[in-house]
Amino acid sequence: MNINWFKYSSPQTFYPLAGRMIPWFAWLATAFAIAGLYIGFAIAPTDFQQGEAYRIIFVHVPAAWMSMVIYIVMAGWAALGLALNARLSAMMAQALAPTGAIFTFIALVTGSLWGKPMWGTWWVWDARLTSELILLFLYLGFIALQSSIDDVRRADRAGALLALVGVVNVPIIYFSVKWWNTLHQGSTISMGAAPKMVATMLIGMLLMALAFWMYTIAVALMRVRCIMLERERSSEWVKQLSGVNS
Amino acid sequence: MQWASWAAFFNMGGYAFYVWFSFGLTALCLIWEVLALRKRSAQALRLSRLLAQG
């Protein structure tokens, strides 16, 4: 197959393509969420230690995963934009940041809601929780820095540098439960070891993670379309757009 | 099926507040994000249309 990738890296070809992809990812997200919630609430058994409170895992862990994955993908796009001076890459990075911030917020709040009944406290300043809070500040810093610089190219470059420096925080979050003594429980699933949980719990969690993935792609595509319109308003391709020229 | 009744399901073994707050907040955040983006996209299209008409 011979696809000309550079063709899709220009906003005027990517805009309609993204528009056609959004409904598919939205439906996939809905389907995975329904399946995940059904397995998580109707099939997965009660936990022998944590009772029903453990069911928070079905949003907490997928949200925490997404908060880290989105940051890495965002930094990757930012780096690509920095290296190639490609406008679409920078727009993708900008489109991912708010969704990453939202998942980080969800991971923090649901973690707090899980910590209160299990640990007896809403918050502790331990490695896992603190590094995840720093991740939220990195996202907010990226968004604020980019929106505070009027020149778009300079804003992209400044944002990309911040995003890249912040990447160091992601392995710190991931390994924090190994490197330091912490109140947070260790990973339930880790690479190279058998999962320490009942199969149905695991399947429910993975389905919810897939749902969040699909949701993230759909929402990032929606946002990148907005950014394209806002940035390139005066260019010819926007004026020729079917929703614009009518 | 895990639950003896709907009441037992909603009660979540006494952890109703923590479990339902978590899921409710997640749903609210995601729905809010989609609605905000729809609004933003409509506004961006409207502005582009105004600009295209000169």
Residues A204-223 pLDDT 10s: 999 999 999 999 999 999 99
B53 vs A77, residue with greater confidence: A77
B26 vs A193, residue with greater confidence: B26
From the number of C-beta atoms within 10 Å of its C-beta (0-12, 13-18, 19+), residue B24 rates as exposed
The pair of structure tokens assigned to A68 is: 């880290």
Q: CB A133: neighbour CB atoms within 10 A?
A: 15
User: Binning pLDDT at 50, 70 and 90, where does residue B22 land?
Assistant: very high
Asked if A18 contacts A203 with a C-beta cutoff of 8 angstroms, the reply is no
Residue A207 host element (H or E): helix A199-231
pLDDT at B36: 97
Give the domain ranges of chain A.
17-45+55-245
pLDDT at A194: 61
Residue with tokens 């810093």: A141
B47 and chain A in contact, CB less than 8 A: yes
Nearest Cα residue to A177 out of A166, A188, A167, A168: A188
The CA-to-CA distance between both ends of chain A, in Å, stands at 36
Q: What are phi and psi of A47, to 5 degrees?
A: -75, 140
B6 and chain A in contact, CB less than 8 A: no
- A243 CB neighbours in chain B (<8 A) are 45, 49
Amino acid at A226: C
pLDDT at A3: 59
Looking at chain A, which residue has its C-alpha nearest residue B28? A106
pLDDT at A189: 66
CA distance A102 to A66: 10
Long-range contacts of A183-189 (CB under 8 A, 24+ apart): A183/A115, A183/A119, A183/A124, A183/A126, A184/A126, A184/A127, A184/A128, A184/A129, A188/A57, A188/A61
Nearest Cα residue to A63 out of A112, A127, A106: A106
Asked if A59 contacts A106 with a C-beta cutoff of 8 angstroms, the reply is yes
List, in order, residues 6 or more apart from A175 with CB less than 8 Å away: none
A60 and chain B in contact, CB less than 8 A: yes
Sign of CA dihedral A59, A65, A68, A70: negative
Nearest Cα residue to B52 out of A242, A12, A226, A152: A242
CA distance B49 to B33: 24
Amino acid at B34: V
Share of chain B above pLDDT 70, in %: 96
Regions in chain A scoring below 50 on pLDDT: none
Asked if A171 contacts A25 with a C-beta cutoff of 8 angstroms, the reply is no
ipTM entry: 0.94
CB contact under 8 A, A219 and B33: yes
Amino acid at B47: L
Residue B2 has pLDDT above 90, yes or no: no
> Among A38, A43, A52, which would you mutate to test the B interface (most chain B Cβ atoms within 10 Å of its Cβ)?
A52
